[in-house]
Structures are given as structure tokens and as C-alpha cells.
């Protein structure tokens, strides 16, 4: 590491500890603090309609879910296409309380931070159980196992009378120190709650990756036999990777339930799982930045495609089927293009931009 | 010269200012409504003509100045049959200060009902699920519920069955809240004494061939199938039944199956999809007047469709009627509130909606009975009409009726 903590044009680390620092330079830290300040301050300055606040809140929730998927698929190398079901487990944990105690029960409305943690823990337990086949299965076979979980989840909810066969189960409005969070402040309030959780969990992921448990994930991904030979426990590592992914997904599910004020089956279907995977791929698998930008990219793309499909459907009624096909078509195309031309995702663009400024005014 | 130019400019400016002010004085209020509907999703064949009915009637209201100088605006957004998108659309409409909302699917109506309650906004959904009315005060069903329709058809089956014993019936349902809506009420009606034998309840998938299901029906002795779904799966089933020679040529023909359907599972659009399989002897019920029947409603609908350049398929679609009717109700409430000198707000429109009964019931040309709402009864048209297809057109059978057992099990 260079002498100056403000500027560093190269990686000159003198100890392992310096390499593992969260912020390599003071400028990194400053940029991060400024960015965070902007994220916290902009809703106070710019007035945004509820529609767009809902979209922004949904992006933040997706970021939390993709943190988990990124740990599982990006860092541990275990592909899952059942992630929406894990998110659903978190949401349906709240729905279970709502069905048993009532949607306006004090546990749900006053102790909502506790409920979010409980949902995360239930997600972790279910994630660990679903992860058990990973002890025996790899690659495509593991994909099928996670797909099975997705199908079982869908089937279970769809035919369960307790969960009203997937119809929306209402969750009451929560309380804050100032009283009940009303409709006017709803999206605003949850923006801050979710943002705080995104930051906390982001640091948690970053710190996990600096610890031996995080390095175990990467080692098992790269070569589980070599990891085993070096004293790691590949089986345990894989199961806890699933449990971690389940925890993040569970938290995301609980937040989803609170934000949408209800839990409905159709938010946790297979195509949502594929969306989460697309977010991770487009953002950049195995990077924290990827988990942050991937959901934003995919959800904004979805909004644009929706508008385009509506436009086509409205003016060219005879080609309604084309309009219907826009979403899957554009979705598939984006994933394929990223896999072909930028497999490291948008995070790699961020890395290049950072490198440029790090070396500036030199090109190399 | 300069002075002359200046004078001309001043006169022109004054004229423009005068024109501007006078047009402001002449311009009335603008009332905003929103419609979130499926135009590109799983039920777009229903949603598309519905949205065109809404769009055309709003244009008609403005063109014909049915609200005087006031203007009606309806934001129409596609939700692709996804509740998440519907919620987003609804929030968008609220940002636009709508005073009346038109929703579409059963799932989204159920999911958003607490929002409707909090916003205290009158809502007319395209879903006729009786469950929409529970837990809120602001959702109004335009016509008789799916339960009334399905139970009404079952009552007709029970009353007109020609063979011995109870008629054997199967329910063919959409795999969603919309499809399942009348299932429990049919069961409750049977428990309350409705003389049918409910042999099987099928939630269809996306099958393009129903041979196995139809053969199973046959082996179980099913004589009647009541559908509560959209037209494409019914068309697939009918085509399968036709190729297997299972469709009854006359009502209740022994050894064959007589097919019946609720509002969204029939109509001219079904004939267009199923062709000869639905041309004859398909029984269908709805509260809307059928477009093949002659009368002022039919003429007005065709004239409206022609005026705004719609093709024949849209013009005669029951869901085009459906879209027209909900705007008719909204316009009528606005008109009544205006006549009483009220400011047009959500609260004022709600008051007019719940007062729309008795002598104040609204007679629409598009429905078989008057539209009546009250605080206790938010189901609009209470009566249904049974139709049967002959030569590809639907004809009325008997007079409009109301389900007897739905009243019993309430």
C-alpha cells in the first residue's frame, strides 16, 4: 500500500490486514460516505410520487435478496433457481402470524424489526434444509433440486387452505415512535428502513468475505477437494451458504410483505427466481457491487419494457402477442448479451471506472 | 409605421389574451378516473375489448358533452394480469388525483381492497367475485357475482335435467382466485339442497389437449360441465369434446355432455375461438344484454364501435359492453352529484353510488336489469340472462332470473 491513504495508484500491500481493509483509501471512504448521504438525503429534497417510491423500495428489497443469491451462486458457486421461494418463505412467515393472530396483531405491527429477523431465521433454517442435497449434488443436478423446492413451495401455497390458496393475506400498518405509519408516509418510511438494512447487510457481507468463513465459500467454489485437503469442511460450507442465502431472502420476503401490506403467492413464482438470477448475473456474480446494481438494472429494464409493451399493445392491437412476448424476450436477450459480452457484469464497468480514476492522469 | 405595427401587435395580443381568458371561463372541471387492466397478459383477450369499451365511452362522453363543459379523463394502463403492476398503476393514478377507479382482476382487487378502503375511493372491478365485497365498503360489483352465475347455472341444470337421479356436474375452473371464486358457494348450495351431484372440480392448466380429462368425465358419467374461466381454455375443451363426439346436440342429451359457462367463459369471443365446437348448444349466462339480440342497446353499442373505428369482433364482444357499462355507472354518479350541486370528490361519488337504488336505480341499455347499489348491497345488476348458441349466435332463453340458492347461503 502506498504511503498516502488518500491516493494509491497501485496495490502495494505490506500485510494481509491492509489488503483486507474495507476501504483501501480515504477517498474510497469519502466517496462511500457521500453516496450514502445522497441516498439518505434525496427523498427529503426531491418529491417523488408513490409509484416511483414503490419501485425504488422494491429495488432495495431485491438488493437484499440478491446479496443472498450472490453469496450462494457468486461466491459459493452453488446455482439456485429457487430463490424466490426462499423470499416467499420469509413473506409467508409473516403470513403465518397474520393468519394465526390476525394481520393487525401487535407482534406484526409493533415488533416488526423482530418479525423481520424471525423471517430471516426461518428462511435460514429452510435454506439449510434445502441445501442438504448440495452435499451430494453439483451443477445441473443441484439446479434441479432447487427448482424442485420452488415447485414444492408453489404447489404447497397454491393448494393450502391455511394460506388462502395464494390469495393476498393482509398485513397491518406498522407503528413507529411517532405512531402509526399512515398511507402518506408508507413508502417513505419503508425506504429508510430498507436502506438501513441494505447498508447493514452490505457491511455484513463485506465482513463475511474478509473472514475465514467467507474465504471458505470461495475456496469450495473454486475446488472443494482442495478446500477439503486444506482443512475446510465443504459440506458444512455448502449448507451454511444455503442458510445464509435463505436468511437474506427471508429478510427480503418480510420487507416485501410489509411494503406491499400483504403476502400473495404470485410474487414468489419461478420467473421471479429467474429474475433474481438475472439480477445477479447482470450485476456481476461474485461481487458486492453487482448485488447493488443488478436489481436496479433489471427492475428499471422491466419498467421500460412494460411501457413499450403497453405502447405496442395499445397502438398495434393485431400484434398483441408480440407485446406479450416483449418481457421474456428482452429479459432473455439481456442475460444472453451479458453472458456473451460482459460475463463479469455491470460491476466490471464500475471496476474499470475506478481503475481509470485511480491511475489518472496515467493510462496504465 | 412603427406606431402602426405596435398597435396591430397590441390588438393581436389583446385578442389572444381575451381568447385565453374566455376559454378558461368556458372550460369546465376535469374529472379523472383510472383503469388498470390486462392487455398483454394471460387474460388479454378479455382485457383488450374491455379497455376499448372504456376508452370509447369516455371519448363519447366528452364528444357528446354528456357532462356539459366538464371533461372526463380515464388513464388506462396495462398490468399484464400482475398484482404488483396493478398496485403500481393504482399508486400512479392516486398521484394523478383520480376520483373513481376501475380495477380488473380478482387477485388484484382482493390484494388492494385495504388500499381502496383507506383511500375511500369507489371502485368498480371487472371481477365479479362476491369475496371482493368482504372487508371493505368501496368495491362495487357491476353485475351479479360469479357465485350467482355458477350457482344459477347449476340451478338451471337441476331444474331442467331430463334423466333420472341427480344430474352429474363437473366444474371447470381457472387456476386462480377468479376461477375458484364460486367453487365453495356451489358446494354450500348443494349442502343447502341444490339437487346436483358434483362429480369433479378441475382447475385447468395451459393444456392444449383435454382428451384425458374429457374421457375421465365420460367414465364418471358427467352430463354437464360448468366453466368459470376465460374463453381460450373453454375453447380448447370444446374442440376436444367435439373431436371425441361428446358435445350434446340438445340440452341434456343422454350419454353426451352439455357445456355451460359463466360470463367470462362464453359469448361471441368464444365462438370466434372455438368455431363450430361452440356454434350450437353452448349455454352461457351474464347480466349483459347480448349483442345478437335486437334492441336499442345493441344498436347503440354498434354505433359507438363504428364511430371510434372498432372492428366487428370488438363491437359485438360482451367485454366491450362490460367496459362501456362501468364508465356509464361512473358517469351517472358524476352526473347525479353535479345535479345536486356537489363538488365532485370521492366521497360525493361514493354517496351517489350507495344511493343508486329503488327509484334511483340506474337503467343502463347494456344490462338485463337495473344497476342498483346500497351500503348493504354492492352487487349491481342482480339478475342474469341465460343464452344458448345457435348457428354461432347467442339467443336468450326465458326471462332474466336471480339465483335462489345464493340468497339462501348468504
Across A11-20, A83-92, A266-275, B301-310, least confident range:
A11-20
How far does B177 lie from chain A, in Å, by closest CA?
7
pLDDT tier for residue B24 given thresholds of 50, 70 and 90: very low
Most confidently modeled of A86-90, B202-206, B311-315?
A: A86-90
Which residues 115-154 on chain B approach chain A with CB closer than 8 angstroms?
115, 118-119
Q: Is A180 helix (H, G, I), strand (E, B) or coil?
A: strand
pLDDT band at A99 (very low <50, low <70, confident <90, very high): very high
State the average pLDDT over residues B402-407.
90
Instruction: Say what the pLDDT of residue B41 is.
Output: 80
Cα–Cα distance for residue pair A180/A186, rounded to 1 Å:
10
Query: What is the pLDDT, as a whole number, of residue A254?
Result: 97
Residue contact A261–B114, C-beta within 8 A: yes
Across residues B183-208, what is the average pLDDT? 91
- Checking if the pLDDT of B334 tops 60, the result is yes
- For the segment B164-179, the average pLDDT, to the nearest whole number, is 90
Q: Is A4 on the interface with B (CB under 8 A)?
A: no
Average pLDDT estimate for B241-251 = 94
pLDDT value for B7: 64
**CA distance to partner chain A, nearest, from residue B111 (Å):** 5
* Residue A9, pLDDT score: 67
Least confident range of A18-22, A68-72, A300-304, B101-105 = A18-22
**Is the confidence at residue A1, as pLDDT, over 50?**
no
Q: Do A314 and B110 touch (CB under 8 A)?
A: no
SS3 at position A170: strand
Average pLDDT over residues A66-92: 95
How much of chain B exceeds pLDDT 90, in percent? 68
Residues of A in contact with B83 (CB under 8 A): 168, 264, 266-267
pLDDT cut 70: percent of chain A above it: 93
Chain A nearest CA to B246, separation (Å): 31
In chain B, the residue whose alpha carbon lies closest to the alpha carbon of A172 is B114
Chain B residues touching A317 at Cβ < 8 A:
48
How close B35 comes to chain A (CA, Å)? Answer: 13
Residue B105 has pLDDT above 60, yes or no: yes
B191 band by pLDDT with thresholds 50, 70 and 90 = very high
Most confident of A106-115, B31-40, B355-364: A106-115
Instruction: Encode pLDDT of B49-70 as tens digits.
Output: 999 999 999 999 999 999 999 9
- Read off the pLDDT band of B298 (50, 70, 90): confident
* Chain A interface includes B41 (CB < 8 A): yes
Higher local confidence (pLDDT), B293 or A345? A345
C-alpha distance from B264 to closest chain A C-alpha (Å):
19
Contact at CB, B39 and A168, closer than 8 angstroms: no
| Contact state of B110 with A167 under an 8 Å Cβ cutoff | yes
- Whether residues B114 and A262 touch (CB distance < 8 A) is answered with yes
Q: What gap in Å lies between CA A128 and CA B212, rounded to an integer? A: 40
pLDDT band at B25 (very low <50, low <70, confident <90, very high): very low
Using the predicted structure, report yes or no on whether residue B118 has a pLDDT greater than 50: yes
For residue A170, what is its C-alpha cell? 393482509
| Residue A314 touches chain B, beta carbons under 8 Å | yes
Mean pLDDT of the B314-322 span: 89
Closest-CA residue of chain A to B314? A317
Residue B292 has what pLDDT? Answer: 64
Structural domain boundaries in chain A: 49-270
- In this predicted structure, the answer to whether residue B224 has a pLDDT above a threshold of 60 is yes
Query: Residue A324: what pLDDT?
Result: 64
Is A50 close to B95, i.e. CB distance below 8 A? yes
pLDDT of B26 > 60? The answer is no
Note the pLDDT tens digit of each residue in A295-329.
Answer: 999 999 888 887 777 677 666 655 555 666 677 77
Domains of chain B are 30-144+294-379 (3.40.50.2300), 146-286+386-409 (3.40.50.2300)
ipTM comes to 0.86
C-beta atoms of A317 and B48 within 8 A = yes
pLDDT in the model for residue A86: 97
Q: Sorting pLDDT into bands at 50, 70 and 90, what band is A26?
A: confident
Residue A129: predicted pLDDT = 94
Cβ pairs bridging A and B (under 8 Å): 79
Smallest Cβ distance to B40: which of A166, A168, A324?
A: A324
Amino acid at each position: 500500500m502506498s504511503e498516502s491513504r488518500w491516493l494509491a495508484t497501485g496495490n502495494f500491500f505490506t500485510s494481509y490486514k491492509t489488503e483486507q481493509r474495507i476501504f483501501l483509501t480515504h477517498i474510497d471512504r469519502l466517496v462511500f460516505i457521500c453516496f450514502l448521504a445522497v441516498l439518505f438525503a434525496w427523498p427529503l429534497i426531491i418529491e417523488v410520487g408513490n409509484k416511483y417510491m414503490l419501485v425504488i423500495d422494491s429495488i432495495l428489497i431485491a438488493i437484499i435478496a440478491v446479496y443472498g443469491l450472490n453469496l450462494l451462486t457468486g461466491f459459493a458457486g452453488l446455482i439456485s433457481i429457487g430463490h424466490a421461494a426462499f423470499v416467499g418463505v420469509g413473506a409467508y412467515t409473516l403470513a403465518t402470524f397474520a393468519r394465526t393472530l390476525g394481520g393487525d396483531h401487535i407482534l406484526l405491527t409493533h415488533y416488526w424489526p423482530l418479525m423481520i429477523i424471525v423471517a430471516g431465521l426461518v428462511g435460514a433454517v429452510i435454506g439449510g434444509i434445502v441445501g442438504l442435497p448440495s452435499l451430494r449434488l453439483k451443477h445441473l443436478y443441484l439446479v434441479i433440486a432447487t427448482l424442485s423446492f420452488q415447485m414444492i413451495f408453489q404447489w404447497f401455497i397454491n393448494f393450502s387452505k391455511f394460506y388462502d390458496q395464494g390469495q393476498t393475506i393482509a398485513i397491518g400498518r406498522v407503528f413507529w415512535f411517532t405512531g402509526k405509519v399512515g398511507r402518506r408516509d408508507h413508502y417513505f418510511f419503508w425506504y429508510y428502513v430498507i436502506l438501513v438494512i441494505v447498508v447493514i447487510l452490505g457491511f455484513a457481507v463485506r465482513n463475511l468475505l474478509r473472514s475465514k468463513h467467507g474465504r471458505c465459500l470461495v475456496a469450495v467454489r473454486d475446488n472443494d477437494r482442495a478446500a477439503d485437503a486444506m482443512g475446510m469442511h465443504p459440506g458444512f460450507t455448502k449448507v451454511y451458504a444455503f442458510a445464509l442465502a435463505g436468511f437474506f431472502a427471508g429478510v427480503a420476503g418480510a420487507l416485501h410483505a410489509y411494503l406491499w401490506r400483504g403476502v400473495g403467492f404470485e410474487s414468489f413464482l419461478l420467473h421471479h427466481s429467474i429474475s433474481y438470477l438475472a439480477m445477479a448475473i447482470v450485476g456481476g456474480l461474485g461481487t458486492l457491487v453487482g448485488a447493488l446494481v443488478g436489481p436496479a438494472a433489471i427492475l428499471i429494464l422491466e419498467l421500460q419494457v412494460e411501457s413499450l409493451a403497453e405502447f405496442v399493445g395499445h397502438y398495434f392491437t393485431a400484434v398483441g402477442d408480440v407485446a406479450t412476448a416483449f418481457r421474456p424476450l428482452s429479459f432473455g436477450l439481456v442475460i444472453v448479451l451479458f453472458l456473451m459480452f460482459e460475463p463479469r457484469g455491470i460491476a466490471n464497468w464500475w471496476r474499470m471506472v475506478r481503475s481509470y480514476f485511480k491511475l489518472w492522469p496515467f493510462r496504465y | 409605421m412603427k406606431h402602426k405595427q405596435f398597435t396591430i401587435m397590441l390588438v393581436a395580443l389583446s385578442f389572444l389574451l381575451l381568447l385565453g381568458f374566455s376559454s378558461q371561463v368556458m372550460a369546465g372541471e376535469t374529472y379523472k378516473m383510472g383503469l388498470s387492466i390486462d392487455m398483454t397478459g394471460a387474460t388479454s383477450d378479455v382485457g383488450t375489448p374491455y379497455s376499448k369499451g372504456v376508452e370509447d365511452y369516455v371519448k363519447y362522453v366528452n364528444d357528446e358533452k354528456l357532462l356539459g363543459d366538464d371533461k372526463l379523463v380515464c388513464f388506462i394502463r396495462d398490468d399484464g394480469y400482475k398484482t404488483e403492476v396493478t398496485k403500481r398503476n393504482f399508486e400512479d393514478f392516486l398521484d394523478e388525483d383520480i376520483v373513481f377507479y376501475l380495477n380488473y382482476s380478482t387477485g388484484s382487487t382482493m390484494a388492494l381492497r385495504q388500499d381502496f378502503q383507506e383511500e375511500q375511493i369507489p371502485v368498480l372491478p371487472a371481477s365479479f367475485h362476491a369475496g371482493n365485497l368482504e372487508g371493505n365498503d368501496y368495491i362495487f360489483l357491476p353485475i351479479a357475482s360469479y357465485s350467482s352465475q355458477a350457482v344459477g347455472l347449476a340451478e338451471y341444470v337441476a331444474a331442467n335435467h331430463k334423466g333420472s337421479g341427480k344430474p352429474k356436474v363437473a366444474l371447470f375452473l381457472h387456476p386462480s382466485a377468479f376461477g375458484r371464486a364460486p367453487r365453495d358457494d356451489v358446494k354450500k348450495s348443494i349442502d343447502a339442497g341444490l339437487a346436483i351431484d358434483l362429480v369433479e372440480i378441475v382447475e385447468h392448466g395451459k393444456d392444449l389437449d383435454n382428451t384425458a380429462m374429457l374421457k375421465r368425465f365420460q367414465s364418471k358419467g358427467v352430463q354437464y360441465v360448468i366453466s368459470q374461466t376465460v374463453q381460450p381454455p373453454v375453447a380448447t375443451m370444446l374442440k376436444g369434446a367435439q373431436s371425441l363426439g361428446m358435445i350434446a346436440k340438445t340440452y341434456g342429451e343422454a350419454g353426451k355432455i352439455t357445456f355451460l359457462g359463466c360470463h367470462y367463459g362464453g359469448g361471441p369471443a368464444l365462438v370466434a375461438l372455438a368455431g363450430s365446437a361452440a356454434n350450437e348448444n353452448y349455454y352461457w349466462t351474464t347480466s349483459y344484454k347480448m349483442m345478437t339480440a335486437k334492441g336499442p342497446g345493441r344498436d347503440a353499442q354498434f354505433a359507438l364501435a363504428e364511430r371510434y373505428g372498432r372492428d366487428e369482433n370488438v363491437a359485438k364482444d360482451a367485454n366491450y359492453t362490460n367496459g362501456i357499462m362501468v364508465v356509464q355507472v361512473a358517469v351517472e354518479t358524476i352526473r347525479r352529484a353535479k345535479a345536486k350541486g356537489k363538488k365532485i370528490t370521492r366521497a360525493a361519488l361514493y354517496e351517489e353510488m350507495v344511493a343508486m337504488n329503488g327509484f334511483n336505480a340506474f337503467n343502463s341499455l347494456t344490462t338485463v336489469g337495473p344497476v342498483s347499489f346500497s351500503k348493504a348491497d354492492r352487487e349491481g345488476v342482480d339478475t342474469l340472462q341465460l343464452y344458448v348458441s345457435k348457428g354461432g349466435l347467442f339467443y336468450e332463453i326465458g326471462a332474466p332470473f336471480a339465483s335462489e340458492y345464493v340468497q339462501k347461503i348468504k
